[in-house]
Structure 1
């Protein structure tokens, strides 16, 4: 697999500002051009434009001309099953706040970017999958055994990204006395955690696992491993796309042939993270 490139990319990510799937991004997306790549061995013509995150270690990360992460590798697998070769894939930056617009305006053909399937989003876009079920969790210092869940955050200092709904959920549903520190990205939150300025960081568990797998953070932080929400990561598609069935077939094959487990281990295994086996690997939903 691409473990070496993943480690290189993760090391470069330590100083970047990261955004969780529930945060509000306002970065400019790269629309790119469709181009005219030669026909792949699978027979697909042209280029497939796939939206990913560029700033999430372990999930979607761009380092020079290299793209790494679980979302990226799943996207490559699915694209290959649809008949596209590596040279026919064009990755497009897809910040959270711009994903629906990118699909609606035809700037991307599909999106793999910690994109939770919700009824509200399904009003304007379609989804394949899910290919992963994440859950909101907590990142704490490696030697901290006092925080085992959101209920333990009463009176504690919690960090999340500005505009994120993750921290607000804790304040609304679990610990009203939590002190919230908002930062531009999760890298800054992890820096605050390792410096002792906050007691925990919160967002989706696999995003936290990617942060914990960054070499600079290894051994300093850990994912609590007690998720308290369900986020079904789907493949974003233009409304009423005809690709859903083929994408779901590819995801099922990826899970059955063991590739799904390998990709997860390659990209976030260094953090010690284990996916929730009650929810993963998921079964793709029926297309509608």
Structure 2
């Protein structure tokens, strides 16, 4: 009788162990380990609301230059597009998302600076952007100083508009709205005369089908924004692999193709692909 009870208990323990093993093997996610590829899937942080850079489309797909860079890098790390899970990482949460291990890396208009580099490691840069102005195609605003007495829009909490007024147009009227899409709509309606933020972001909005041919970039270079790929602090192996992937993306022409496809309709005069590790101050 005792022998049968022991056998039954052992069988139950064995069944539980097998079930746990099966559950663990179905959802391998490389983002929780220190390795740099070869898992069943990978989580990558992007923006969901920046046309031309990182945008979640109505059908659930993703588009934009950052998305193209992330997809190319992931492939070099050993992942096909169907193995990628894109995770929305808003600006304020990027460092925390990496520290928590929510994502393996982040490509989300993530400008490299000294303060951020204390908390995360960066691969790249992969794009050099500048703060610029977007105006209507027929606007007489040809330079920043022309904004004196005009309405300038930026997003609430951003320092971009104040930067313009401090440096080149002290009499500009600052208008702050909840998002860049609202600023672009205000520009289209004539409620504001210009919108300011990174030229890459402005070009992405201007390249949308509903805005094609309506706007132009002025060409002011009010700041240098070195976009990098954020990686968890200390994960040098992943940084090295991403840097190699970015160099390959430039050398095989995929980088130029992605720039043209995502920003071309806005006549975006982009800088050449930056060299890995070279930060333009």
* TM-score for the superposition, normalised by structure 2: 0.84
Picking from 125, 140, 147, the partner of 2:141 is 147
Describe the superposition over 1:154-205 as per-residue Cα deviations: whole angstroms up to 9, x where unpaired: 2211000000111111122222211011111111111111111111000000
Correspondence 1:35 to 2:27: yes
Distance 1:163 1:274 in 2: 27
Picking from 59, 84, 89, the partner of 2:79 is 84
What is the CA distance between 1:43 and its match in structure 2?
7.0
Question: Contact 2:29–2:42 at 8 Å: present in 1 too?
Answer: no
Describe the superposition over 1:102-128 as per-residue Cα deviations: whole angstroms up to 9, x where unpaired: 111111110000000000001111100
Stretches of structure 1 that go unaligned for 5 or more consecutive residues are 1-33
Correspondence 1:71 to 2:66: yes
Distance 1:129 1:244 in 2: 9
Distance 1:270 1:250 in 2: 27
Question: Contact 1:37–1:88 at 8 Å: present in 2 too?
Answer: no
Correspondence 1:274 to 2:269: yes
* RMSD of aligned Cα (Å): 1.9
Correspondence 1:254 to 2:249: yes
Correspondence 1:162 to 2:156: yes
* TM-score for the superposition, normalised by structure 1: 0.82
Picking from 105, 110, 115, the partner of 1:110 is 105
Q: Which SS does the other structure have where 1:176 is aligned?
A: coil
Describe the superposition over 1:231-257 as per-residue Cα deviations: whole angstroms up to 9, x where unpaired: 000001111112111111110111011
Larger radius of gyration: 2
Distance 1:274 1:35 in 2: 43
Stretches of structure 2 that go unaligned for 5 or more consecutive residues are 1-25, 31-35
What is the CA distance between 1:271 and its match in structure 2?
1.5
C-alpha spacing 1:225/1:56, structure 2 compared with 1 (3 Å): same
| Residue 7 of structure 2: aligned partner | none
Q: How many equivalent residue pairs?
A: 247
After TM superposition, the structure 1 = structure 2 runs for residues 126-141 of structure 1, keeping only pairs within 5 Å, are: 126-141=121-136
| Residue 283 of structure 1: aligned partner | 275
Distance 1:164 1:43 in 2: 36
Structure 1: 4+ residue segments shifted above 4 A: none
Question: Contact 2:120–2:231 at 8 Å: present in 1 too?
Answer: yes
| Residue 52 of structure 1: aligned partner | 46
Question: Contact 1:148–1:226 at 8 Å: present in 2 too?
Answer: no
